[in-house]
């Protein structure tokens, strides 16, 4: 059975970085492959044979964390490749080439997509990095772990991939999501001169079908608020986070998770949207202040969504999102909602309730922090934050 291990070779010169490499064993034959990364000797745990990740305040934290993520991903990928190859006769060179992203005809698509995943992560575009990584994993599964050169990505292959996604029960919008991510990366490869543009996406669907809007009425918000959940603390917490989002003009859950205590000053919360980087200033309504005072958090964060600053903040946020949405579905059933209740639903609810109250579209767009609606952005420079807060108070007065 093929195995892979991470190894470190220290530099012979004091104060210089050593080399990280993979040790791959096949039929008692050992091959060493460079990871492309170097670390200092004090950043290597000899006993555990792993990278030492320092505190999140350390200047090397982000760099070492990204190296570790890349190595874990590669080692899992090798294990999956080894399983796929085990069902057929193959040479050591074939599995090594597949692992390194080589093909007989040039740079492999897997390797290029992984490069984009890391680039987006280094730029701080974490969500975009995750969606590209999700696309890469999906396409790798479709290909059975066997890479393909960029210039061999054809219309036929993409139509086969589309059929594969459909066979797995994915909707047209989800299939299109993967296709658009692939197309974005492919066009970048064309720009970099790695392949000629063969227009492989012309036969697959890359649009967005209209979906049923998910929103609830102000009456539903009242019912949620009135529920007695004193004996169900998990549901009570989920309800509080939902209501806090509503009180804060439909603030997205990721922005709530990363709100810091220092973001709250003089009755206003100042934060930048994780999705767009846009700065928003929101008046903290009394209802929102009550929720904040209800909970304690020993970290720098305002709400108890991220409760441990251990380098796993992103995972904590994602875990909380899953748990809260699961509990919100239970709450939705308790009040007889016809749709699944989620954090996204309440964001959309704020917008639709505001619209129904006759509030201008441009103010709603500002309230939600949208920056990609050209028809409303032309008005944003003339909209003062106080007008958005007045709109929020008009909505909350109906509760």
Which pLDDT value is given to residue 374?
44
Which pLDDT value is given to residue 238?
96
| Digit-coded pLDDT (tens) for 148-199 | 888 889 999 999 999 999 998 888 989 999 999 999 999 999 998 888 999 9
Instruction: Name the DSSP class of 219.
Output: H
Q: Which of 16-30, 63-77, 232-246, 274-288 has the highest mean pLDDT?
A: 232-246
Instruction: Name the DSSP class of 262.
Output: G
Of residues 360, 23, 354, the one with CA closest to residue 218:
354
What is the three-class DSSP state of 4?
strand
Are 114 and 256 part of one and the same domain?
no
391: domain CATH number is 1.10.443.10
% pLDDT > 70, the chain? 90
Q: How far is CA 388 from CA 114, 136, 245, 294, 354, in A?
A: 41, 40, 15, 26, 10
The pLDDT of residue 75 is above 90: no
How is residue 340 written in tokens? 């699944």
Range of the domain at 36: 1-100
Number of structural domains in the chain: 3
Which pLDDT value is given to residue 1?
61
Are 238 and 377 part of one and the same domain?
yes
Q: How far is CA 33 from CA 4, 96, 111, 161, 243, in A?
A: 10, 9, 15, 31, 52
Are 295 and 238 part of one and the same domain?
yes
Are 301 and 227 part of one and the same domain?
yes
Q: Compare 219 and 388 and report the one with higher pLDDT.
A: 219
- Last residue of a domain, which of 211, 243, 264? 211
289-293, 327-331, 336-340: segment of lowest average pLDDT: 336-340
Average pLDDT of the residues in 205-231: 84
Which pLDDT value is given to residue 385?
58
**Helix (H) / strand (E) containing 110:** helix 109-122
Which pLDDT value is given to residue 162?
95
Average pLDDT of the residues in 342-363: 79
The pLDDT of residue 386 is above 80: no
The average confidence (pLDDT) of the chain is 84
- Last residue of a domain, which of 100, 127, 157? 100
Q: Which of 78-87, 113-122, 326-335 has the highest mean pLDDT?
A: 326-335
The pLDDT of residue 271 is above 70: yes
Are 164 and 223 part of one and the same domain?
no
Average pLDDT of the residues in 215-232: 92
Are 93 and 120 part of one and the same domain?
no
Which pLDDT value is given to residue 21?
93
Are 361 and 224 part of one and the same domain?
yes
Which pLDDT value is given to residue 373?
47
Are 11 and 80 part of one and the same domain?
yes
Average pLDDT of the residues in 258-265: 95
C-alpha–C-alpha distance, residues 22 and 30, integer Å: 10
Average pLDDT of the residues in 23-40: 86
Helical axes 361-368 vs 385-396, angle rounded to 10°: 90
Q: Are strands 18-26 and 264-265 parallel, antiparallel or unpaired?
A: unpaired
Average pLDDT of the residues in 266-278: 87
Residues whose CB falls within 8 Å of the CB of residue 393, separated by 6 or more in sequence, listed in order: 283, 285
C-alpha–C-alpha distance, residues 238 and 240, integer Å: 5
Are 222 and 284 part of one and the same domain?
yes
> Other CB atoms closer than 10 Å to residue 144's CB: what's the count?
11
Are 307 and 379 part of one and the same domain?
yes
Are 96 and 150 part of one and the same domain?
no
Average pLDDT of the residues in 3-11: 92
Which pLDDT value is given to residue 270?
94
- Last residue of a domain, which of 56, 84, 100? 100
Q: How far is CA 24 from CA 35, 75, 344, 390, in A?
A: 12, 10, 45, 63
Are 167 and 266 part of one and the same domain?
no
């Amino acid at each position: 059975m093929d195995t892979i291990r991470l190894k470190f070779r220290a530099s012979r010169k004091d104060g210089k970085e050593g080399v990280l490499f993979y040790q791959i064993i096949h039929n008692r034959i050992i091959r060493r492959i460079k990871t492309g990364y170097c670390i200092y000797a004090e950043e290597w745990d000899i006993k555990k044979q792993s990278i030492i990740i320092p505190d999140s305040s350390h200047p090397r934290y982000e760099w070492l964390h990204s190296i570790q993520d890349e190595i874990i991903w590669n080692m899992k990928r090798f294990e999956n490749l080894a399983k796929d190859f085990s069902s057929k006769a193959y040479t050591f060179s074939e599995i090594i080439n597949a692992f390194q992203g080589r093909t007989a005809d040039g740079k492999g698509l897997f390797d290029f997509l992984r490069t984009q995943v890391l680039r987006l992560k280094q730029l701080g575009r974490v969500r975009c990095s995750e969606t590209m990584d999700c696309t890469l994993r999906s396409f790798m599964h479709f290909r059975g772990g066997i890479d393909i050169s960029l210039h061999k990505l054809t219309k036929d292959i993409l139509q086969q991939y589309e059929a594969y996604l459909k066979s797995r029960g994915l909707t047209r919008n989800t299939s299109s999501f993967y296709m658009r991510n692939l197309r974005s990366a492919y066009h970048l490869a064309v720009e970099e001169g790695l392949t000629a543009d063969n227009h492989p996406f012309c036969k697959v669907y890359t649009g967005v079908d209209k979906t049923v809007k998910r929103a609830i009425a102000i009456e539903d918000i009242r019912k949620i608020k009135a529920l007695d959940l004193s004996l169900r603390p998990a549901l009570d917490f989920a309800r509080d986070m939902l209501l806090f989002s509503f009180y804060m003009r439909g603030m997205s859950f990721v922005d709530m998770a990363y709100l810091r205590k220092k973001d709250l000053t003089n009755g206003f919360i100042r934060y930048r949207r994780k999705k767009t980087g846009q700065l928003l200033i929101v008046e903290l309504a009394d209802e929102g202040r009550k929720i904040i005072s209800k909970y304690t958090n020993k970290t720098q964060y305002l709400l108890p969504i991220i409760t441990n600053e251990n380098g796993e903040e992103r995972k904590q946020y994602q875990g909380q999102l899953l748990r809260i949405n699961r509990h919100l579905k239970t709450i939705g059933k308790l009040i007889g909602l016809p749709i699944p209740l989620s954090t996204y639903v309440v964001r959309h609810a704020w917008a639709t309730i505001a619209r129904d109250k006759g509030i201008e579209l441009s103010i709603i767009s500002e309230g939600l922090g949208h920056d990609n609606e050209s028809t409303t952005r032309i008005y944003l420079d003339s909209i003062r934050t106080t007008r958005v807060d007045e709109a929020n108070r008009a909505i909350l007065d109906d509760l």
